[in-house]
Structure 1
Amino acid sequence: MPIISLKTVNFIRSGQKILENINWTVEKNEHWAILGLNGSGKSSLLKLIMAENWKTSGEITVLGTRFGLDPIPELRAKIGIVGSFIAERFRPDIIAENLVLTGRYNSSMLYRAFSEQDLDVARDLMRQIGADKLIGRIYGTLSQGEKQLLLIARSLMIAPEILILDEATNGLDLFAKERLLDKLHMITQLANGPTLLYITHHPDEITSDFQKTLLLRDGKIIDSGATKTILTEKTLTDFYQMPVDVERVNGKYFVIPKKSDT
Structure 2
Amino acid sequence: MALISMKNVTVKKQGKTLLNNLNWKVNKGENWVILGLNGSGKTTLLKLIMAEYWSTQGQVEVLNTRFGQGDIPNMRTKIGVVGSFIAERLPANMLAEKIVLTGKYKSSMLYKEYGETELNEARQMLTVIGGKHLLGHIYGSLSQGEKQLLLIARSLMEKPEIIILDEATSGLDLFAREKLLTQVEKISELPHAPTILYVTHHAEEITDKMSHILLLRRGEIVAQGPKKDIITPQVLENFYESPVNIISIDDKRFFIKPQA
- Give the Cα separation in 1 of the matches to 2:175 and 2:208: 18
Task: Tell me which residue corresponds to 2:139.
Answer: 139
Task: Tell me which residue corresponds to 1:211.
Answer: 211
Task: Tell me which residue corresponds to 1:183.
Answer: 183
Cα distance, 1:83 vs. partner? 1.5
Q: Does 1:167 align with 2:183?
A: no
Q: Aligned pair count?
A: 259
- Give the Cα separation in 1 of the matches to 2:243 and 2:87: 37
TM-score scaled by structure 1? Answer: 0.97
State the 4+ residue runs in structure 1 displaced beyond 2 angstroms. Answer: none
Cα distance, 1:234 vs. partner? 1.3
Cα distance, 1:84 vs. partner? 2.4
Cα distance, 1:127 vs. partner? 1.1
Task: Tell me which residue corresponds to 2:48.
Answer: 48
Cα distance, 1:85 vs. partner? 2.6
Task: Tell me which residue corresponds to 2:84.
Answer: 84
CA deviation profile, 1:62-111 (whole Å, cap 9, x unmatched): 11111111110110000001112321111110111111111011111111
Unaligned runs of 5+ in 2: none
Task: Tell me which residue corresponds to 2:35.
Answer: 35
Cα distance, 1:22 vs. partner? 0.4
Cα distance, 1:243 vs. partner? 1.2
- Give the Cα separation in 1 of the matches to 2:245 and 2:179: 26
Matched residue SS, 1:19: strand
CA deviation profile, 1:90-145 (whole Å, cap 9, x unmatched): 11101111111110111111112211211111111111111111111000000000
Matched residue SS, 1:103: helix
- Give the Cα separation in 2 of the matches to 1:245 and 1:132: 39
Unaligned runs of 5+ in 1: none
Task: Tell me which residue corresponds to 1:150.
Answer: 150
- Give the Cα separation in 2 of the matches to 1:228 and 1:71: 36
- Give the Cα separation in 1 of the matches to 2:62 and 2:163: 13
CA deviation profile, 1:16-38 (whole Å, cap 9, x unmatched): 00000000001100000010000
- Give the Cα separation in 2 of the matches to 1:62 and 1:137: 37
Task: Tell me which residue corresponds to 1:231.
Answer: 231
Overall identity of the aligned pairs, in %: 54
Cα distance, 1:252 vs. partner? 1.3
Deviates more, 1:194-203 or 1:116-125: 116-125
Matched residue SS, 1:235: helix
